[in-house]
Amino acid sequence: MLKVPEHQVAGHIAKEGKLGPLVDDRGRFYKPLQGDARGENEAKFYESFSSNKNVPDHIRGYFPVYHGVQLAEASDGSGKLPHMVLEDVVSGYVKPSVMDVKIGSRTWYPDVSEEYFNKCIKKDSATTTISLGFRVSGLKIFDCQESRFWRPEKRVVLAYKVDGARMALRKFVSSNPSADSVPDCAYASEVYGGSNGILAKLLELKAWFETQTLYHFNSCSILMVYENESGGDDERRAQVKLVDFAHVLDGNGVIDHNFFGGLCSFIKFIQDILESSDNRCENGH
Amino acid sequence: MHLKAPEHQVAGHIAKDGKPGPLVDDKGRFFKPLQGDSRGEIEVKFYESFSSNTEIPDHIRRYFPVYHGTQAVEGSDGAAMIVLENLLSQYSKPSVMDVKMGSRTWYPEASEEYIQKCLRKDARSTTVSSGFRISGFEVYDHKELSFWKPDRKLLNGIKVDGVRLALRKFVSSNTLSDTSSKPDSAFASSVYGGSNGVLTQLLELKTWFENQTFYHFNSCSILIIYENESIHDDGARAQVKLVDFAHVHDGNGVIDHNFLGGLCSFINFVRDILQSSDESTDN
């Protein structure tokens, strides 16, 4: 039985008769192949990536596992459509906080149509993409104090400027994200820090991006997830995954300098929050 | 003060049609005319800020030209000029390359007209695809005993393969104007490699760029210089310098991800050439 995912923060949503991804109860995520070239391109990427011997194993862990293409009942009632079957990154979490961050100082790339270019550059200018090299696409944070999820409206998220992005990244690791008061960054060291924390994972990814010339990850996002349910082992199980490969192209011997630059900028933001939370971030702005 | 036009300028403005160009003296100084619009002002402001910025580590300061203030120079209608260290004064036969760093040369604060102009140039060159473009270079031919410079128009149209070829030619000794012979990359390891070579210097800069949030070096170039005189006996004395700060803006707490991405891409190109020249046994 397929149902609408509970914790999706960005991308098309299968709601109110719209076409969108679905999940099953066995940890799989069904992403409908969109009629245009994008779905085809994403499937092509997954096929290439899964069989690419030049991708080191420890890097493979940052990508959703691919289970091929299957026919499934589409969420908009249009019958059986091909769907890419992927690992559901948030299955196995009881109360996940999730954030989607689109990486790169531009979401367009060479040889796109003028129309697509204009659409991208307009969005890149209106958000923090050009200034920061990344933008927050969506977030859903568990508010431990209110015991409920806090999810700001999409148009609010897309209007974030530099301060808004910083605040979102602080709220992401706070126990009081929905409050108007300063985020307490209570979980910064558990989620961002440590040898298995998000920063360590981002640094591992960065090292790969310094030299990999296999793919250019145009318009891709980094998904950050961690557990809020206290389950005795107190493990946050923070995860970093790259998602959304509809615009990936061959690297052709050149590194993905666009993604790399944005990733480094994102890493700096996380490092700053970690450092200031070590000195308490209550007096931040 | 005896001033003349610099000998080895590979990119940027030159003296033409009555418009002032840069000058050099015989005391190791470079005089750059202050461009009429805000660009000259921005460049001076950068140099003033940078020279007095106590948070710039010494080992990074060496990658920037020394600043000697501004001066009105006779014969240039009293127009003010920026006085800098002449980066080539310690070289007798320098090969020089100017590489404009970053996958975009425009920036949000620029005018719409300027942004459009830059977008066009960035798309036509390797800026968008590779994160940098070669603005110009001049290389010494050890056989012909003369300098060779590629045609500017030709250089503007090169793609990724052309960039690789240019980076090889830049460290070659064989006849460069003869397109039938492959560049020998004879000086690749002395120029690009070694503990003081270009690659090492670029990696040091990269580490600084991963953290510095002081400046955004929009449209800046990296200049690569090395000595051809007695290169076999005395080594190449390769140097990397950042130049052209007419569009530098405050970092405002954000790293210069545009420059950093391009720099990392350029580093890969240089490293590939170094590795393939170390491995190659044929020409």
Judge whether B243 lies within some domain: yes
Predicted pLDDT at B282: 45
Give the per-residue pLDDT at B281. Answer: 42
CATH number of A96-283: 3.30.470.160
Residue B15 counted as domain residue:
no
Q: Give the residues across from A22 on adjacent strands.
A: A30
Last residue of a domain, one of B46, B68, B85: B85
Min Cα–Cα distance to chain B from A149, Å: 30
Q: Domain spans of chain A?
A: 22-87, 96-283
Note the pLDDT of residue B178. Answer: 64
Number of folded domains in chain B? 2
Answer yes or no: do B28 and B153 share one domain. Answer: no
The pLDDT score that the predictor gives to residue A277 is 82
Please tell me whether residues B46 and B170 are part of one structural domain. no
Residue of chain A with shortest Cα separation from B255: A265
Residue with tokens 């944005």: A262
pLDDT at B242 over 90: yes
| Token duo for residue A69 | 């293409």
B203 contacts chain A (CB < 8 A)? no
Residues B49 and B126 both lie in one domain = no
Query: In this structure, is residue B3 part of a structural domain?
Result: no
Residue B75 has pLDDT above 90, yes or no: no
Cα atoms found within 13 Å of the Cα of residue A164, Cβ hemisphere only: 19
DSSP collapsed to 3 states, chain B = CCCECCCCCCCCCCCECCECCCEECCCCEEEEECCCCHHHHHHHHHHHHHHHCCCCCHHHHCCCCCEEEEEECCCCCCCEEEEEECCCCCCCCEEEEEEEECCCCCCCCCCHHHHHHHHHHHHHCCHHHHCEEEEEEEEEECCCCEEECCCHHHHHCCCHHHHHHHHHHCCCCCCCCCCCCCCCCCCHHHHCCCCCCHHHHHHHHHHHHCCCCCEECCCCEEEEEEECCCHHHHCCCCEEEEECCCCCEECCCCCCHHHHHHHHHHHHHHHHHHHHHHHCCCC
In this predicted model, what pLDDT tens digit does every residue of B190-211 receive, in sequence order? 999 999 999 999 999 999 999 9
Together in a domain, B103 and B148:
yes
Q: Give dist(CA B19, CA B94) in Å, integer.
A: 26
Look-up: residue for tokens 């090292």?
A207
Residue B30 sits in the same domain as residue B144: no
B253 touches chain A (CB under 8 A): yes
Q: Is B80 on the interface with A (CB under 8 A)?
A: no
B224-234 pLDDT per residue, tens = 999 999 999 99
Confidence of residue B236 (pLDDT cuts 50, 70, 90): very high
Residue B4 maps to a domain:
no
- Number of A:B CB contacts under 8 A? 77
Contact A261 B108 (CB under 8 A): no
Max Cα-Cα span within chain A: 56
For the ranges A33-37, A154-158, A189-193, which has the lowest average pLDDT? Answer: A33-37
Residue A222 class from Cβ within 10 Å (0-12 exposed, 13-18 middle, 19+ buried)? buried
Amino acid occupying residue B70: T
For residues A144-173, average pLDDT: 95
Is the pLDDT assigned to residue A272 strictly greater than 90?
yes
Supply the range of the domain harboring residue B65: 23-85
Is 0.85 exceeded by the ipTM? yes
CATH number of the domain enclosing B274? 3.30.470.160
pLDDT band at A285 (very low <50, low <70, confident <90, very high): very low
Q: Report the residue from B108, B210, B262 with minimal CB separation from A264.
A: B210
Reported as a single tens digit per residue, the pLDDT across B29-57 is: 999 988 777 888 999 999 999 999 999 99
Contact call for A213 and B108, based on CB within 8 A: no
Residues of A within 8 A of B130 (CB-CB) are: 254, 257
Q: What percent of chain A has pLDDT over 90?
A: 80
Domain final residue pick, B85, B119, B139: B85
Q: Do residue B216 and residue B235 come from a single domain?
A: yes
Question: Which residues on neighbouring strands pair with residue A82, listed in sequence order?
Answer: A71
